[in-house]
Homo-oligomer: A and B are copies of this chain.
Amino acid sequence: MSQARIPAPVLALAAAGLLFFLLPLAGLIVRAPWGQVGPALVAPETATALGLSLFCSVTATAVALVLGIPLAVVLSRTQGTLRSVLRALTTLPMVLPPVVGGVALFLAFGRRGLVGEPLHQAFGIQIPFTTAAAVIAETFVAMPFLVIAVEGGLRSMDHRYEEAARALGAGSWRVFARVTLPLLRPAIFSGAVLCWARALGEFGATITFAGNLPGRTQTIPLAVYVALETRPEGAIALSLILLAVSLAILIGMRDRWLGSP
């Protein structure tokens, strides 16, 4: 293919943009306390925090898929003002400072929260300070990315496939499961990747709502924050490990999964 040349100023700006991303990462790598990476890597706490990070971010992504895809479907059917309002409401967790997000989660799911209080009094269930709380915090912050990506996919989807399925006698569930979902796969996947990445880096809401307990709620970003207090070098080493793992996962994902719908 001989595609249109990219104009030189555009190329230059793109290079500047890439550099803007790469320089800080390069800084981390160049100034990295490489001596600390080895010990950090073998430290049992690292493995625990990394495992917990992956577990929580993957679970949060799964929850976001289960709740977010239906929400996107409903959003994509709305019109006009209702649509703007719903869409703005789903975007708000992105704007809310994460620490306040954590406070908001307390107010909803905490021991004194709107839902948490009856839950606590009826069943003695306490959500804060558990791994579940970490998952909830990450889901709250990261789900908007999934919802927005899937909704975009739905809007640009060819709805005649669904119509054809209905004309063939498929009920609403069958249309959704056998036609809509498979056709949405690329949008779902790219939304899930964004959501997962955001969940993996989540800090503020998690530390507020789930607290910081190694092995239970201390994900890598929390461990990094704590380590910054006493051994900044170790914190950077830990961040590099997180980056390397994410980079490997992101690159390992098949290109075709990431394609536009």
Contacts and interface: CB of A to CB of B under 8 A. Distances in A.
A197 B87 CA distance: 12
A182 B22 CA distance: 29
A83 B255 contact: yes
Contact of A235 (B85, B92, B100): B100
Contacts of A144: 21
A176 B3 CA distance: 12
Nearest to A26: B114
Contacts of A148: 190, 194
A7 interface: yes
Contacts of A134: none
Nearest to A173: B7
B104 A25 contact: yes
A148 B192 CA distance: 13
A20 to B, nearest CB: 6
Each complex incorporates copies of this chain amounting to 2
A17 B147 CA distance: 10
Given A71-B17, A89-B21, A172-B5, A201 B109 contact: no
Interface residues of A, number: 114
Nearest to A187: B152
B156 A261 contact: yes
A99 interface: yes
Nearest to A203: B97
Interface of A: 3-7, 9-14, 16-18, 20-28, 30-31, 66-71, 73-74, 77, 80-81, 83-101, 103-109, 113-115, 139-140, 143-145, 147-148, 152, 155-156, 159, 162-163, 166, 171-173, 175-176, 190, 193-194, 197-198, 200-201, 203-204, 220-221, 224-225, 228, 232, 235-236, 239, 242-243, 246-247, 250-251, 253, 255, 258-261
Q: What 10 pairs across the A-B complex have the smallest Cβ distances?
A: A27-B107, A17-B67, A24-B104, A88-B250, A97-B221, A14-B70, A17-B71, A13-B70, A23-B108, A7-B173
